[in-house]
């Protein structure tokens, strides 16, 4: 089996259609920041349950890629002479969790009246898991993207609770607890592996910031009523984020929101 | 496959004549709209206009103008995403076009039907009432052979009426689509999700949720 499996070669059947996250040829307004469109997900909002269906499909695709990414990390650095065996075991454990999440997600999709392949797949998560440095890979995937997963699962759990949907709220709660562990793994390994290499730590955190900015998705995530995905401060604390680090993610999200507003104004 | 225009279709005008942002065809939308208007039972002399806002990838449909006439006047503003293929960005999806337009046309035909006896504001209904009426429209479309997703709408309905057996029973009654009146739809919807509950949920969330509890 080869190292560093390219994204183009991920195994998918005919149900899966891949699209880029951003299409520069699409001249339509990329986002609508009107208050009546962008708001925290709530079951009584006109568009929220439909948005939740689409988000659930995105979660399902993310779980598949998280499984593939953690599997690759366990394999790609197996004998590089530097990566601790315990880190590889953590990645193997994460694969176990992600495989379970894929199965839960398929059942949740069925519950929500959607199915595998109703929506397209973007491969950003796996692409972040292709970094040749295992520390950057863990920062991009386990801290940035699994951190986003904490925010998404907490948002969906609250959405289920507000709609009194026991299937959604419990399933998301179970997955959320695993995500906290995955982010904590990323936080712990970042600190341990860069203890005597501050430059490498800075590079890894820079990579995380880039990924965080990219996936604040023009105000999709944040802490106001206008953000469909809410930043989950409490669970981020549990996963090893310091208060300053959480503030930084919140700041990046605010910046993304302001940029979206500016873009919206410029487009008239 | 393109639809073939039938004589009994109700005339509908569609704008724009050509599309720049998306790969849609004016004539195809017009043909589908006319079929939907006919199947919904809208009168032949109705003035129906569909304005497609192709610059928006969102999928909202808004009734801009409605007067019962006779002849009735209907003006729908449809964001381009409502007709978009979910797996092929900017490409047209006839199934989604039929569902988006048919859902409105069936409800508008109800609103014109004296037997249905609609007494609210079409565009200002609380979301649960609107969704209950949507399901009644979609169930009839399903009976006429339109491709609509029962499970998708069950989920959208449960979110607004509860994940309970009573809610599911009401859904199936609406989906069966059998000569219901507005009073029956509204009354059963209110039993499952009262105006007070909707207002309380809205006030807990503040202004962003205000429209969920709009009067109707």
B32-70, pLDDT tens digit by residue? Answer: 999 999 999 999 999 999 999 998 888 889 999 999 988
Averaged pLDDT for residues A76-101: 95
Q: What is the residue-averaged pLDDT of chain A? A: 88
Decide if B66 contacts B75 (C-beta within 8 A): yes
Q: What is the pLDDT, as a whole number, of residue A264?
A: 67
- Cβ within 8 Å, pair A30-B57: yes
Of A107 and B202, the structure prediction assigns the larger pLDDT to: A107
Q: Does B81 score more than 80 pLDDT?
A: yes
Q: What is the pLDDT, as a whole number, of residue A111?
A: 97
Q: Does A244 score more than 50 pLDDT?
A: yes
Report strand pairing: A221-222 vs A229-230.
Answer: parallel
Closest CA to B156 of A24, A62, A44: A44
Report strand pairing: B73-79 vs B61-67.
Answer: antiparallel
Q: Tell me what ipTM this predicted complex has.
A: 0.88
Both tokens assigned to A187: 């936080």
Of B60, B90, B163, the CB nearest to A26: B90
Report strand pairing: A229-230 vs B12-15.
Answer: unpaired
Q: What is the pLDDT, as a whole number, of residue B213?
A: 42
Question: What's the pTM?
Answer: 0.89
Residues of chain A positioned with their CB less than 8 A from the CB of B56: 28-29, 32
Model confidence pLDDT, tens digit, residues A246-259 = 998 888 888 888 88
Residue A34 confidence class, pLDDT cut points 50, 70, 90: very low
Q: Reduced to 3 states, what is the DSSP secondary structure of residue B61?
A: strand
Closest CA to B215 of B117, B109, B144, B126: B126
Closest CA–CA distance from residue A173 to any residue of chain B (Å): 18
Four-point Cα dihedral B198, B203, B209, B212, nearest 10: 20
Residue A228 confidence class, pLDDT cut points 50, 70, 90: confident
Residue B210 confidence class, pLDDT cut points 50, 70, 90: very low
Chain B, residues 35-94, CB within 8 A of chain A, namely: 54-58, 60, 80, 86-90
Averaged pLDDT for residues A33-58: 79
Which own/partner pairs from A6-13 qualify as long-range (CB within 8 Å, at least 24 positions apart)?
A: A6/A130, A7/A123, A7/A126, A7/A127, A7/A130, A10/A65, A10/A68, A10/A123, A10/A126, A12/A121
- Cβ within 8 Å, pair B127-A114: no
Backbone angles phi, psi at B63, to 5 degrees: -85, 105
Decide if A69 contacts A127 (C-beta within 8 A): no
Residues of chain B positioned with their CB less than 8 A from the CB of A167: 163
Both tokens assigned to B166: 């009573």
Residues of chain A positioned with their CB less than 8 A from the CB of B128: 44
Residue B6 confidence class, pLDDT cut points 50, 70, 90: low
Averaged pLDDT for residues A10-17: 93
What DSSP line would sit under A30-99, residue for residue? S----TTTS----TTSSSHHHHHHHHHHHHHHHHHHHHHHHHHHHHHTTTSSSS-HHHHHHHHHHHHHHH
Q: Does A218 score more than 90 pLDDT?
A: no
- Cβ within 8 Å, pair A165-B159: yes
Biggest distance spanned by C-alpha atoms of chain A: 56
- Cβ within 8 Å, pair B155-A111: yes
Decide if B21 contacts B91 (C-beta within 8 A): no
Q: Does B182 score more than 60 pLDDT?
A: yes
Averaged pLDDT for residues A9-24: 88
Q: Does A29 score more than 80 pLDDT?
A: no
Of A25 and A182, the structure prediction assigns the larger pLDDT to: A182
Q: Return all residues near B118 (Cβ < 8 A) that are at least 6 apart.
A: B110, B111, B182
Of A212 and A268, the structure prediction assigns the larger pLDDT to: A212
- What is the percentage of chain B residues whose pLDDT exceeds 90? 77
Q: Which of A32-46, A94-108, B84-98, B151-165 has the lowest mean pLDDT?
A: A32-46
- Cβ within 8 Å, pair B201-A42: yes
Q: Return all residues near B85 (Cβ < 8 A) that are at least 6 apart.
A: B91, B92, B93, B96
Averaged pLDDT for residues B137-163: 96
Q: What is the pLDDT, as a whole number, of residue B2?
A: 40
- Cβ within 8 Å, pair A117-B87: yes
Question: Which position has the token pair 């549990």?
Answer: A238
**CA atoms of B98 and B95, how far apart (whole Å):** 5
Using CA coordinates, name the residue in chain B closest to A34: B208
Q: Does B3 score more than 70 pLDDT?
A: no
- Cβ within 8 Å, pair A23-B213: no
Q: Does B1 score more than 50 pLDDT?
A: no
Residue A26 confidence class, pLDDT cut points 50, 70, 90: confident
- Cβ within 8 Å, pair B57-A225: no
**Residue A243: which region, alpha, beta or left (left: phi > 0; alpha: psi -120 to 50)?**
alpha
Using CA coordinates, name the residue in chain B closest to A45: B212
Closest CA to A74 of A56, A57, A89: A89
Mutation site, B167, B207, B208, B210, interface A, largest A CB count within 10 A:
B208
Q: What is the pLDDT, as a whole number, of residue A57?
A: 96
Decide if A118 contacts A57 (C-beta within 8 A): yes
Residue A262 confidence class, pLDDT cut points 50, 70, 90: confident
**C-alpha pair distances (Å), B137 with each of A98, A144, B57, B89, B92:** 40, 44, 25, 27, 23
- What is the percentage of chain A residues whose pLDDT exceeds 90? 57
C-alpha radius of gyration, chain B, whole number: 17
Closest CA–CA distance from residue B23 to any residue of chain A (Å): 11
Of B87, B163, B198, the CB nearest to A166: B163
What DSSP line would sit under B146-184, residue for residue? ----HHHHHHHHHHHH-SSHHHHHHHHHHHHT-S--HHH
- Cβ within 8 Å, pair B149-A120: no
């Amino acid at each position: 089996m080869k190292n560093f499996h390219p994204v183009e070669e991920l195994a998918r059947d005919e149900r899966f259609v891949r699209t880029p996250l951003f299409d520069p040829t699409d001249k339509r307004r990329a986002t609508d920041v009107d208050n009546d469109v962008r708001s925290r997900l709530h079951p009584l909002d006109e568009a929220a349950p439909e948005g939740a269906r689409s988000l659930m499909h995105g979660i399902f695709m993310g779980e598949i890629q998280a499984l593939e990414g953690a599997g690759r990390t366990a394999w790609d650095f197996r004998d590089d002479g530097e990566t601790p065996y315990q880190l590889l075991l953590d990645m193997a454990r994460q694969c176990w969790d992600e495989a379970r999440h894929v199965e839960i997600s398929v059942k949740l999709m069925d519950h929500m009246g959607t199915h595998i392949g109703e929506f397209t797949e973007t491969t950003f998560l796996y692409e972040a898991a292709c970094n040749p440095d295992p520390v950057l890979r863990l920062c991009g995937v386990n801290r940035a993207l699994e951190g986003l997963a904490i925010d998404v699962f907490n948002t969906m759990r609250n959405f289920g609770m507000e709609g009194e949907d026991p299937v959604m709220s419990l399933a998301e709660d179970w997955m959320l607890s695993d995500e906290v562990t995955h982010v904590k793994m990323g936080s712990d390994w970042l600190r341990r592996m860069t203890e005597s290499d501050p430059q490498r730590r800075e590079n890894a955190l820079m990579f995380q910031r880039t990924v965080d900015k990219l996936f604040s998705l023009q105000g999709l995530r944040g802490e106001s009523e206008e953000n469909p995905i809410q930043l989950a401060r409490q669970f981020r604390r549990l996963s090893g984020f310091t208060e300053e680090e959480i503030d930084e993610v919140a700041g990046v999200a605010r910046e993304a929101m302001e940029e979206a507003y500016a873009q919206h104004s410029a487009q008239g | 496959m393109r639809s073939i225009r039938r004589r009994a279709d109700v005339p509908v005008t569609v704008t724009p004549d050509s599309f720049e942002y998306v790969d849609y065809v004016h004539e195809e939308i017009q043909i589908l709209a006319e079929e939907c208007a006919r199947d919904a039972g809208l009168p032949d002399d109705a003035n129906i206009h569909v304005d497609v806002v192709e610059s928006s990838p969102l999928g909202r449909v808004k009734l801009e103008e409605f007067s019962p006439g006779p002849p009735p006047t209907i003006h729908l503003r449809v964001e381009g995403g409502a007709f978009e293929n979910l797996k092929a960005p900017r490409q047209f999806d006839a199934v989604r076009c039929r569902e988006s337009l048919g859902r409105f046309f069936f409800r508008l035909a109800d609103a014109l039907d004296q037997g249905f006896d609609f007494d609210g504001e079409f565009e200002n209904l609380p979301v649960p009432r609107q969704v209950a009426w949507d399901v009644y429209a979609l169930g009839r479309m399903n009976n006429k052979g339109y491709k609509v997703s029962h499970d998708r709408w069950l989920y959208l309905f449960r979110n607004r009426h509860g994940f309970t057996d009573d809610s599911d029973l009401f859904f199936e009654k609406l989906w069966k689509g059998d000569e219901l009146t507005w009073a029956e739809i509204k009354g059963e919807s209110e039993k499952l999700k009262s105006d007070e509950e909707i207002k309380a949920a809205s006030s807990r969330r503040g202004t962003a949720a205000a429209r969920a509890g709009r009067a109707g």
